[in-house]
Amino acid sequence: MTAVSSPHQNSTTPNLEMPYHHKQSPRATAVVTSRSSFFSPKLSVYLCSICVTLFVVFHIQILQTPLPSSPNSLSFLHNWQEKLTTNDDSPSSCAPDLESMGDKLRESITFLPLKDLRFANAALVGHTWFMSSLYDTHEEGEVQYQQFPSKSSDGRILCIKGHDNHDGSWNYYALAYPGFLPKNATLVTGRTFVSYNHYDFSNIWHGLSSLFPFVAWHLKNQCALPNRWILYHWGEVRTGMSPWLNTLMEATFGGAMNIEKFDDGGHEQSTFCYEEAVVMRHNEGGMSRERRMEVYDLIRCKARMMCGAEVDRTDGDIGLTLLMRTGPRSFRNETAVVEIFERECEKVENCRFRVAYSSNLTICEQVKLMGLTDILVSPHGAQLTNIFLMDRNSSVMEFYPKGWLKLAGVGQFVYKWIASWSGMKYEGSWRDTDGKHCPYPDDDRRCMSIYKNGRIGYNSTYFREWTSKVLNEVKMRKFEEASKGSIITTKCGCS
Ligand SMILES: *[C@@H]1O[C@H](CO)[C@@H](O)[C@H](O)[C@H]1NC(C)=O
Ligand SMILES: *[C@@H]1O[C@H](CO)[C@@H](O)[C@H](O)[C@H]1NC(C)=O
Ligand SMILES: *[C@@H]1O[C@H](CO)[C@@H](O)[C@H](O)[C@H]1NC(C)=O
Ligand SMILES: *[C@@H]1O[C@H](CO)[C@@H](O)[C@H](O)[C@H]1NC(C)=O
Ligand SMILES: *[C@@H]1O[C@H](CO)[C@@H](O)[C@H](O)[C@H]1NC(C)=O
């Protein structure tokens, strides 16, 4: 289903002394050692070494002069490989040594742990501890990623020994030239998406933010599709994700998610080298609001198509939806809360009131419901991740139990951010001041465990005034949109 691009991409001169990455690492010494053993005292070998070295130096010199877009290390290496097999213009006695040099190149490939414990304290800061020796692309406003093979990988591809699902520091990665893969490595053809998540693929918003950049890459690269996915959480392999996320990704990429399971059985780690790999470890970081909105637009549009929901609203209603939770952070008196919002909705012409529990809606039911919602009223919680599935410019009203402002950290603002990133209007939040008593000072960490699972009360005066204001704004907006006339029908990107 994908067009596999040839690995013959621009890359620069090979660095035979350090066939691994550009950065010095402790293991580079091992590489040098193996190289010095190459100069064996035996004379015939020595002579052959000279001829091989001259051969290499000659090629390097040819390669050093031109611009990066001209002949590259790969063609050189392929050339070399050809010589190993056809053996035409090099003295035949040197063939075994060329071969042994190829072997040395294979053996000198250095595997590093996927999870670098040296960065354990700064895992979220720039230099992430996942594949810490490699850097991401940096293009203003664009998604950050790593791609292999590429110019920055010097044409090398990504190899992974990484089936461990308990400890990321037992999983490894390395870069290798396609012609000189590590011993016993399996070449995996096609395009592989490798995701690293600091949080969890089973949490819908954490999972979404880690897969989000792949959608951005897909848009940026003529809708190129993956053949498979590899998921790492803390560097540990994961073989599944929340069904909600799975469904939205299937909708977006137009097919089943092929998630690598690494079920090779044995305790020994097998090595897999990926013909083409795209690695994401910065979520949506670095992307401009415009780019983010395009990505949300695509997921929304594709999800609506897959679920058979209307891509463009035609009903003219103002949808006011209460999306409820059960358990922690649910409303303490739902009847009272429902009554307030229902009554305000009744006062506005064409207002359509709905109450739903995210826990008993299928994913497509959620997609359809959001498509009919202009104002989403919901407590703080993962179900709010659905907000981007509303039409652009729709409104969000969020509710918190007591104690969250001081103690819950920046994570409490995520739905405000998602609203902004996806082009929605965050209408503010209401924070309950009533709730369980905490015996410690208000900003004591211990209070969070008391407040965390609190439930949410209501202030009918405040709720009524607030809802009425938001309803009026939405009514005006819809009126203006309608007066502009013709609805331009949406065409999903990448279809
Ligand atoms: C490669 O595989 C063979 C056969 O499975 C095994 O005997 C050998 O030890 C392996 N070599 C390496 C370097 O893993
Ligand atoms: C919930 O609110 C309703 C309506 O205001 C009220 O009649 C009912 O007594 C309340 N229930 C509880 C358990 O407080
Ligand atoms: C949805 O879930 C809530 C709470 O879990 C339950 O009270 C309600 O009956 C359910 N609604 C439907 C339509 O199944
Ligand atoms: C959303 O609102 C902005 C600002 O009012 C407007 O420019 C834009 O066209 C609206 N977008 C959609 C999709 O209605
Ligand atoms: C409820 O909201 C109103 C309007 O904002 C405010 O005046 C009042 O003090 C609030 N009541 C409580 C108990 O917080």
Residue nearest to atom 6 of ligand 5 (CA): 462
Instruction: Output the CA 458–ligand 2 centroid distance in Å.
Output: 11
In sequence order, the β-bridge partners of residue 354 are 321
Residue nearest to atom 5 of ligand 5 (CA): 462
Which atom of ligand 2 has the smallest separation from the CA of 460?
A: 5
Q: Under a CB-based contact definition with an 8 Å cutoff, are residues 240 and 234 in contact?
A: no
Asked if omega into 149 is within 30° of 0 (cis), the reply is yes
Instruction: Output the CA 293–ligand 2 centroid distance in Å.
Output: 41
Q: Which ligand is nearest to the CA of 458?
A: 5
Q: Under a CB-based contact definition with an 8 Å cutoff, are residues 404 and 416 in contact?
A: no
Instruction: Output the CA 365–ligand 3 centroid distance in Å.
Output: 14
Q: Locate the DSSP E strands across 267-341.
A: 272-280, 318-324
Q: What whole-number distance in Å separates Cα of residue 226 and Cα of residue 253? A: 8
Q: What whole-number distance in Å separates Cα of residue 212 and Cα of residue 225? A: 14
Q: What is the pLDDT along the chain (495 residues), one digit of tens a residue?
A: 333 333 333 333 333 333 333 333 333 333 333 333 344 445 454 545 544 554 444 444 433 433 333 344 445 555 555 555 554 555 566 778 888 888 888 988 999 999 988 887 776 666 678 998 898 998 999 999 999 999 999 999 999 999 999 999 999 999 999 999 999 999 999 999 999 988 889 999 899 999 999 999 999 999 999 999 999 999 999 999 999 999 999 999 999 999 999 876 666 789 999 999 999 998 888 899 999 999 999 999 999 999 999 888 888 899 999 999 998 899 999 999 999 999 999 999 999 999 999 999 999 999 999 999 999 999 999 999 999 999 999 999 999 998 877 777 788 899 999 999 999 999 999 999 988 888 888 778 888 888 888 899 999 999 999 999 999 999 999 998 888 876 677 789 998
Q: Which ligand is nearest to the CA of 337?
A: 2
Provide CB contacts within 8 A for 315, sequence distance 6+.
Answer: 352, 372
Largest CA distance in the chain: 98
In sequence order, the β-bridge partners of residue 159 are 174, 273
Q: What whole-number distance in Å separates Cα of residue 250 and Cα of residue 256? A: 5
Q: What whole-number distance in Å separates Cα of residue 466 and Cα of residue 311? A: 29
Q: Under a CB-based contact definition with an 8 Å cutoff, are residues 442 and 403 in contact?
A: yes
Say what the pTM is: 0.81
Instruction: Output the CA 332–ligand 2 centroid distance in Å.
Output: 9
Q: Strands across the sheet with 351-357, in order?
A: 351-357, 318-324, 375-379, 395-400, 425-431
b/e map of 420-446 (b: 16 or more CB within 10 Å)? bbbbbbbbebbbbeebeebeeeeeeee
Q: What whole-number distance in Å separates Cα of residue 104 and Cα of residue 180? A: 9
Q: Which ligand is nearest to the CA of 365?
A: 3
392 lines ligand 4 (CB under 6 A): yes
The binding-site residues of ligand 3, defined as CB within 6 angstroms of any ligand atom, are 326, 357, 359-360
The binding-site residues of ligand 1, defined as CB within 6 angstroms of any ligand atom, are 183-184
Q: Under a CB-based contact definition with an 8 Å cutoff, are residues 478 and 318 in contact?
A: yes
In sequence order, the β-bridge partners of residue 274 are 158, 188
Mutation probe of ligand 1 site: the residue of 106, 107, 183, 270 with most atoms within 8 A of C-beta:
183
Which atom of ligand 4 has the smallest separation from the CA of 393?
A: 1
